[in-house]
Structure 1
Amino acid sequence: MSEPPRFDRGHTDDLMSFLAASPTPYHAVANAAERLEKAGFRQVAETDAWDGTAGGKYLQRGGAIVAWYVPEGAEAHTPFRIVGAHTDSPNLRVKPRPDSGAHGWRQVAVEIYGGPLLNSWLDRDLGLAGRLSLRDGTTRLVDVDRPLLRVPQLAIHLDRAVNSDGLKLDKQRHMQPVWGLGEDVRDGDLIAFLEETAGLPDGSVTGWDLMVHPVEPPAYLGRDRELVAGPRMDNLLSVHAGTAALAAAAGRGSELPYIPVLAAFDHEENGSQSDTGADGPLLGTVLERSVHARGGSLEDRARALAGTVCLSSDTGHAVHPNYAERHDPTHHPRVDGGPILKVNVNNRYATDGSGRAVFAAACEKAGVPFQTFVSNNAMPCGTTIGPITAARHGIRTVDIGVAILSMHSVRELCGAKDPFLLANALTAFLEG
């Protein structure tokens, strides 16, 4: 029997605020942590000894966050219910020597991260954000959220065949943004500008992880405002829903039969192989330390993981009205049709029949409809952190998400209802 929904249109409003405030994985993690703190969670350090007390805890490592709630009376072998997601999105990232330029233009040297739709970055007002590493060993987040850079497209007069032959972009030559005028390009100018912007002393920044982002805010779209357009929905939409679901599940306290977990990783868009990626040891270490903190043994850990289920939540493809032939003819997920269950028999997604049953039960409990996505047989299938999580930790994993259009564009498109439908389904899953 379904329960009253926890989230409504206000969740989508809050998602839009979260997207706007999270131009980088580091900002997304900080914003998720702030929401968890308000729900009573406390931060733990990896270098400290952990205790097994009940309550909500979380740790941050770079662009990743793992949070969990231990109910009163939880045993060492109590299984976990995990929502997995990722914090990174395809974009343009600043190179180690950022200051460049030619022909009177000052430019910022960037490298392509992940697989962005390059044309969507052209002729947009762009800001700059990321993490600054300081001489004293600390870090500082920075966000220049105003028009600062632009990647100008070549005028049609100089590329007469662009509309007939298609736009062809060279990642090295054509994607370097401009940010001013001047013949004298000096090493250190960009970082000096960011030091001044962040109120830091000259020369205090010794390292940086910086990326370009569009400054146009998310917005409702359509006759009845039934659509949402915005950046980084892949996959901050899932991070936001997972954070809200974990905070809501924690409100159940001792009634929880599982230990609910949110694991939001970095670097999914380039393979997940990092200390903050899903293919690293972060999640496994947290789960193991949680078991041991409650007095558990190796046997307890094995028992806990044997009963654990992970929902890998990432955006998927809604059927495109102009390209319906690119989709499987019998699987046409629609926006606002509820979250999608992703299936691929070659294990590009981790879903199997038993996982489908778990997700179906959560949706039924939440009163949320769901759909199924399968790729067209003639098209290569993407993948997620789902198969990585299943293989690395030996836990049952199910791939799900929200159907969107324009995936990997600067500005993606989803239905206004789907974000809160996902959050309700995730909450029901975490609560068991």
Structure 2
Amino acid sequence: MTEPSNATFNSGLIDFIATSPTPFHATREMARQLSDAGFREIDEADHWQLEPGGRYFVIRNGSSLIAFIHGRAPLAESGIRMLGAHTDSPCLKVKPNAKVTSAGYYQLGVETYGGVLLSTWFDRDLSLAGRVTFRSASGSPASRLIDFRAPIAVVPSLAIHLDREANRNRSINPQTDIRPILMLADENPDEFTFSALLMAQLQAEHPGLEVREILDFELSLYDTQKPAQMGLKGEFVASARLDNLLSCYVGLDAIKRADDAQSCLLVCTDHEEIGSASACGAKGPMLEQFLQRLQPDVSARLRTLDASMMISADNAHAVHPNFVQKHDAEHGPVLNAGPVIKINANQRYATTSETSGLFKMLCAQVGVSVQSFVSRTDMECGSTIGPITSAEVGVKTIDVGVPTFAMHSTRELAGSDDAFALARVIQAYFARPQAPGRFETQ
């Protein structure tokens, strides 16, 4: 596979995010690209026979994915070069009884998913996407993905004339203030049902599909503004869901380019923004069960894990020029200065001196600058899938990420050099012949 330029990489990143308004769509797109790159999908319901030199991927819940290259080097000696990211992002999700009628408008009842920066959802052209479960013509339950694509909803701000304190002391009630408007209500409000809307969209996106009854759905609102490379010199990438589809794309691009000399694994799980505690989250058994099926023998599996390492990739907080005081003065990452190693004394990040040292060596190997992030000691620190995976699986781990502004906004901002730089480091990591989890201690 031809090595990409920075511009080519960013173009692919932008297209990937635009195609992935929900974790379901992101997983489907990763599966498509992996299939095109020669990876074979395996089903958890089948018996597995994973052979050295083989390329595989497995999906759980339609929203989490593991891609694996079974290297030709012995697993227990060479280990597995793992990279982890997450497919979900904070958003507004539609409630089961979706239709709300107020003051002559049809609205959607929504709830917040994860740590949403609510103020950024006002006055945006919003669309709707996700998974719909229905009763098929055979009478069995079935599911399909939908994406309205067009801007069909909006959450208008309250005019400042009606809230003179809006610029000084504004609070947002997530129950009452962020219900999106769909359209004007007609004289017969019972004629419009949300189920009928979903049924029509299913049939529009999946011609010939027979839908007897809408059973349930998992739908998210998203901003229809396209991702873009921007800035006076094109030095930024602006998009929704950079946290953390950017890291998913970095891992996807790197594993597609890896050869089969060494064993490499990409795991992209759902539900990180709400704690990862699900069957398809990092706190669930998905990765551990994959490794058990890869190596049923406990001793061989533990030897492999001892030789392995996980890079947990999730965006890092860049120093905001208007809020410099929110950062530790000696640990403030800046955009386009390279990937960030994230460190926390209380294990909110899983980085150790050994895993950090190896990552710094990889950065030097490919000529990429590296930065460090530590939260102010008087501020609470966030976390990632890194500590969870390290604790659940028992693998040495480092937390890294691309520096980002406006995390959890509908429009986040990263440097146009940093994702490509991280991808180059991950490519070197996947190609490393030495066991990444083995360090000299004497």
TM-score bucket of the superposed structures, by smaller chain: over 0.9
Residue-by-residue CA offset, 1:72-97 (whole Å, 9 max, x unaligned): 35446652111000000000001111
Partners of 1:105 and 1:180 within 8 A in 2? yes
For residues 131-186 of structure 1, the C-alpha deviation after alignment (integer angstroms, 9 at most, x for no partner) is: 11122333211001111011111111110111122x21101000110101115444
223 and 45 in structure 1: CA distance in 2 versus 1, 3 angstrom threshold: same
Alignment map for 1:73-222 (pairs within 5 Å): 74-75=74-75, 78-135=78-135, 136-165=140-169, 167-182=170-185, 184-186=188-190, 189-199=193-203, 200-201=209-210, 203-222=212-231
Matches within 5 A, 1:29-428: 29-53=27-51, 54-62=53-61, 63-72=63-72, 74-75=74-75, 78-135=78-135, 136-165=140-169, 167-182=170-185, 184-186=188-190, 189-199=193-203, 200-201=209-210, 203-249=212-258, 252-253=259-260, 255-256=261-262, 259-292=263-296, 297-428=297-428
Cα deviations by residue, 1:303-326 (Å, 9 ceiling, x for unpaired)? 011111000000010110000000
1:124 offset after TM fit, Å? 0.4
Could you list the per-position Cα deviations for residues 214-269 of structure 1 after superposition, in whole angstroms to 9, with x for gaps in the alignment?
001011211111111111000000001100111111xx22x32xx10000000000
Q: Distance in 2 between matches of 1:203 and 1:404?
A: 45
Question: 2:430 maps to which residue?
Answer: 430
Q: What code does the residue aligned with 1:12 have?
A: N
8 Å CA contact 1:6, 1:424 repeated in 2: no
Q: Percent identity?
A: 39
Contact kept, 8 Å, 2:338 with 2:418, in 1: the verdict is: yes
Residues 167-208 of structure 1: CA deviation (Å, up to 9, x unaligned): 211010001101011154449722311221221545433121
User: What is the CA–CA distance in structure 1 between the aligned matches of 2:298 and 2:117, rounded to whole Å?
Assistant: 46
Secondary structure of the structure 2 residue equivalent to 1:240? helix
Give the aligned residue type for 2:338.
Answer: G
User: How far apart, in 1, do the equivalents of 2:294 and 2:191 lie?
Assistant: 47
Equivalent residue for 2:206?
A: none
Specify whether residues 72 and 186 from structure 1 end up closer, same or farther in structure 2 by C-alpha distance, changes over 3 A only.
farther
Question: Where does residue 439 of structure 2 map in the other structure?
Answer: none
| 1:245–1:426 CA contact under 8 A, matched in 2 | yes
What 5-or-longer segments of structure 2 have no aligned partner? 204-208, 433-442
Partner SS state of residue 225, structure 2? coil
Q: How many Å separate the matches in 2 of 1:392 and 1:425?
A: 25
2:435 alignment partner in structure 1: none
Cα distance 1:320–1:59, how it changes in 2: closer, same or farther (>3 A)?
Answer: same
Distance in 1, Cα, partners of 2:412 & 2:4: 25
| Number of corresponding residues | 419
Verify the 8 A CA contact 1:77 1:291 in the aligned structure 2.
no
Give secondary structure in 1 for the equivalent of 2:215: strand
